[in-house]
């Protein structure tokens, strides 16, 4: 086995002579050990000093040309995608991107400072091509000709690092670039239109994280991504006094800076996730089962994709798996429950872009009656939110057939699901648009309205609806708010039996959303009816409840709003959708009472007083009907 070689660390200083006492190095080394990485004692550290090259002395000027730009600048889609995967992993590792607000006053401070004598070196570098060439040569002459390096650029050193990225030797790969106290957001430092050259990430760069402090006047309260959008900006705290606030030694004492440098030099601290509960056999609750099933179905889809679609889908599925597992672990910890082995198996280090996500194991067996509802949830939702990747129905259907086959339900069941969806769509849609295929695109909005049903998501504040419910529900989630597939997964685990429709079928959603939900519930009714499951009345009750709610909303809007109101028209469309579904159920004997034979009806009425009714809606309908006949 070839031994792994630690990359070389290159430190590029700012104006002046740099940190000749190497305090930045001592602080960084101590912080690395504090967070669990090795120190810098065995790392090759290169600290070029280019103060003389930054001075404008005619006697030291040499006729030097800038190194040529690299031919491959990372413009191809594969590299851009891979870079996004790595930068997303760094965001998982460090925390949410924060580009800062900036402002006129901080920028004015930087603009005024540039004119001071202490910044003469910076002005020389930005404005004098010969000086740039001298500085580049001074640095490159000390670098290895091939291999991996990690660059730490402070202040003007961050500008030099960015300028040098496309001019490094072909054999060098920058495993990571960390910039601290960078002025790159200020237009005075846009050397040689650097933002244009760095429109896309260079092919020799793995990731770039910029650390800035709100008290650092050079950073001007904003990150580098305002100039170079693909850079990850991360805010840290340094002292409030301007000098120490900009000091490299203060930045290097920060654990986030050390985390980035440590990962670039040594890789992940956890090469493998240690599964302390790997032998723990525990019963799975419905939420955990749903997560296993959703990830397995996604995996079966991914195996059928090719090329760019396969790469993007695999990435989105990997992100979703990490979120789902993390949220289950967090939920179980809150409830003082251990994590079952099946969930622990799925865990991996999402902050390591090279870590493979374990392949989800086959779904546990589920009874066929339960399978109808669960499979509709799986195929009818975008489980990868917030990512949207179009997958053909053929691939999704084949994956579902494999899923039902390996779950001992039989592959024909997968076909039944899609047939029911198509039939339901034809029933409720004036002009079928296969909305059910994309109803997951609004899953966050609809699901957040029903978070009180349980699952992974936390309940919204009482009385909060619509967009406010989404905000309330997601506010207590982890860093960044896990707004992706995890929210959908958490609520879908408990939506069976109508809890989803009761909360979601209302005028706060669009007509497309309502239509998709009606298609979902009507599909389930068709499956239940075709297979003799005596629960179709539940769907009728749900839709009847929704019809009353929508009818009240429509009447209230119509009495006040303009007749041309888009909201009024949308509500009217929603009402028509629900009405069509109810009419179909009634016309086909799936409404209240159905088309039972006369004898069975008599028996049912005789037993009505001795059996608990399935629904409070059916008796209410009968009472209202009798009242209407009496009044008539």
Residue 448 CA to residue 42 CA, distance in Å, equals 51
Using CA of residue 434, residue 440, residue 446, residue 452, what is the dihedral sign? positive
Q: Name the 3-class secondary structure at 353.
A: coil
Q: Helices 485-492 and 307-334 meet at what angle, rounded to 10?
A: 60
Predicted confidence at residue 469, as pLDDT, reads 30
| Six token digits for residue 111 | 């603009």
Predicted confidence at residue 286, as pLDDT, reads 84
List Cα–Cα distances, 253 to 22, 24, 49, in angstroms.
Answer: 13, 8, 22
First to last CA, the chain: 91
Predicted confidence at residue 507, as pLDDT, reads 57
Percent of the chain scoring above 90 in pLDDT: 35
Residue pair 277/333 in contact (Cβ under 8 Å)? The answer is no
| Six token digits for residue 545 | 């409840």
Residue 632 CA to residue 619 CA, distance in Å, equals 20
Cβ neighbour number for residue 490 with a 10 Å cutoff: 27
Cβ neighbour number for residue 157 with a 10 Å cutoff: 26
Cβ neighbour number for residue 77 with a 10 Å cutoff: 11
Residue 187 CA to residue 232 CA, distance in Å, equals 19
Predicted confidence at residue 118, as pLDDT, reads 61
Predicted confidence at residue 123, as pLDDT, reads 84
Q: CB within 8 A of 575, min separation 6: which ones? A: 547, 550, 551, 554
Query: Nearest-5° angle of CA 41, CA 45, CA 47?
Result: 140
Residue pair 469/547 in contact (Cβ under 8 Å)? The answer is no
Tokens 């006129």 belong to 104
Our measurement of the distance from residue 417's CA atom to the centroid of its chain's CA atoms, rounded to an integer in Å, reads 29
Residue 313 CA to residue 347 CA, distance in Å, equals 19
| Domain 8-266 listed as CATH 1.20.120 | no
Burial letters 358-383, b for 16+ CB under 10 A, else e: eebeebeebeeeebbbbbbbbbbbbb
Tokens 């002009």 belong to 431
Residue 89 CA to residue 354 CA, distance in Å, equals 9
Q: What are phi and psi of 150, to 5 degrees?
A: -120, 130
Predicted confidence at residue 486, as pLDDT, reads 31
Residue 609 CA to residue 73 CA, distance in Å, equals 79
Residue 591 CA to residue 583 CA, distance in Å, equals 9
What is the arrangement of strands in the sheet containing 8-12, beginning at the earlier edge strand? 45-46, 8-12, 146-154, 171-180, 208-213, 232-236
Query: Nearest-5° angle of CA 234, CA 235, CA 237?
Result: 145
Q: CB within 8 A of 289, min separation 6: which ones? A: 363, 364, 366, 493
Residue 343: closest CA among 313, 323, 314: 323
Residue pair 150/8 in contact (Cβ under 8 Å)? The answer is yes
Tokens 């499979």 belong to 375
Domain residue extents for the chain? 8-266, 286-595, 598-632
Q: Are strands 8-12 and 146-154 parallel, antiparallel or unpaired?
A: parallel
Residue pair 322/352 in contact (Cβ under 8 Å)? The answer is no
Predicted confidence at residue 516, as pLDDT, reads 82
Q: How high is the mean pLDDT in each 10-residue block of the chain (632 residues)? A: 74 84 94 96 95 73 77 74 89 82 60 59 86 94 95 95 94 96 84 87 94 86 86 91 89 96 89 48 85 94 94 93 90 90 91 91 86 85 82 91 88 88 87 49 33 29 32 29 32 36 55 82 91 90 89 88 89 91 93 56 42 37 42 42
* Range list of H helices, 432-565: 443-448, 466-474, 485-492, 499-504, 511-530, 536-560
Q: Name the 3-class secondary structure at 495.
A: coil
Q: Name the 3-class secondary structure at 150.
A: strand
């Amino acid at each position: 086995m070839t031994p792994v070689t630690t990359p070389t660390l290159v430190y590029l200083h700012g104006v002046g002579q740099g940190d000749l006492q190497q305090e930045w190095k001592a602080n960084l080394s101590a912080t690395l050990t504090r967070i669990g990485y090795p120190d810098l004692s065995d790392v090759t550290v290169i600290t070029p000093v280019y103060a003389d090259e930054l001075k404008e002395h005619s006697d030291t000027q040499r006729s030097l040309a800038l190194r040529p730009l690299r031919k491959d600048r990372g413009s191809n889609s594969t590299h851009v995608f891979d870079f996004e995967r790595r930068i997303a992993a760094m965001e998982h590792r460090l925390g949410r991107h924060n580009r800062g607000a900036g402002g006129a006053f901080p920028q004015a401070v930087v603009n005024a400072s540039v004119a001071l004598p202490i910044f003469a070196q910076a002005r020389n570098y930005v404005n004098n091509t010969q000086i740039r060439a001298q500085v580049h040569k001074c640095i490159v002459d000390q670098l290895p000709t091939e291999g991996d390096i990690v660059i730490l650029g402070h202040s003007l050193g961050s500008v030099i690092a960015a300028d040098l990225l496309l001019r490094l030797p072909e054999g060098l790969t920058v495993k990571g670039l960390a910039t601290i106290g960078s002025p790159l957001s200020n237009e005075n430092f846009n050397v040689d239109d650097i933002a244009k050259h760095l429109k896309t990430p260079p092919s020799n760069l793995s990731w770039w994280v910029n650390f800035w402090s709100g008290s650092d006047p050079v950073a001007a309260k904003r990150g580098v991504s305002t100039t170079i959008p693909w850079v990850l900006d991360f805010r840290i705290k340094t002292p409030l006094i301007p000098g120490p606030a900009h000091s490299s030694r203060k930045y290097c004492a920060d654990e986030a800076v050390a985390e980035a440098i440590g990962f670039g030099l040594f890789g992940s601290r956890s090469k493998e996730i240690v599964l302390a509960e790997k032998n723990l056999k525990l019963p799975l609750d419905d939420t955990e089962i749903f997560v296993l099933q959703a990830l397995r179905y996604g995996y079966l889809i991914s195996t059928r994709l090719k090329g760019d679609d396969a790469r993007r889908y695999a990435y989105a599925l990997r992100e979703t798996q990490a979120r789902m597992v993390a949220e289950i672990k967090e939920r179980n910890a809150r409830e003082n429950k251990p994590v079952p082995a099946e969930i622990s198996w799925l865990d991996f280090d999402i902050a390591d872009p090279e870590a493979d996500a374990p392949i989800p194991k086959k779904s546990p067996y589920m009874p066929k009656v339960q399978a109808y509802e669960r499979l509709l949830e799986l195929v009818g939702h975008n489980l990868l939110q917030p990512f949207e990747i179009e997958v053909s129905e053929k691939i999704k259907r084949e994956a579902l057939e494999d899923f039902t086959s390996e779950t001992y339900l039989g592959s024909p069941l997968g076909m039944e699901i899609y047939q029911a969806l198509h039939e339901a769509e034809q029933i409720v849609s004036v002009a079928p648009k296969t909305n059910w295929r994309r109803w997951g695109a609004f899953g966050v909005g609809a699901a957040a309205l029903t978070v009180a049903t349980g699952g992974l998501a936390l309940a919204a504040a009482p009385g909060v609806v619509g967009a406010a419910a989404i905000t309330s529900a997601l506010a207590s989630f982890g860093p960044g708010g896990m707004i992706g597939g995890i929210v959908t997964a958490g609520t879908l685990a408990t939506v069976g039996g109508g809890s989803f429709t009761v909360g979601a079928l209302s005028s706060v959603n669009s007509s497309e959303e309502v239509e998709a939900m009606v298609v979902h519930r009507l599909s389930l009714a068709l499956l239940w009816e075709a297979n003799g499951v005596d629960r179709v009345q539940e769907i009728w009750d749900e839709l009847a409840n929704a019809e009353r709610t929508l009818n009240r909303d429509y009447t209230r809007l119509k009495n006040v709003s303009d007749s041309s109101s888009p909201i009024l028209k949308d509500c009217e469309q929603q009402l028509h959708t629900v009405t069509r579904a109810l009419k179909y159920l009634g016309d086909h004997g799936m409404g209240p009472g159905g088309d039972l034979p006369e004898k069975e009806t008599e028996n049912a009425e005789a037993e009505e007083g001795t059996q608990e009714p399935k629904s409070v809606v059916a008796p209410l309908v009968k009472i209202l009907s009798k009242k209407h006949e009496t009044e008539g």
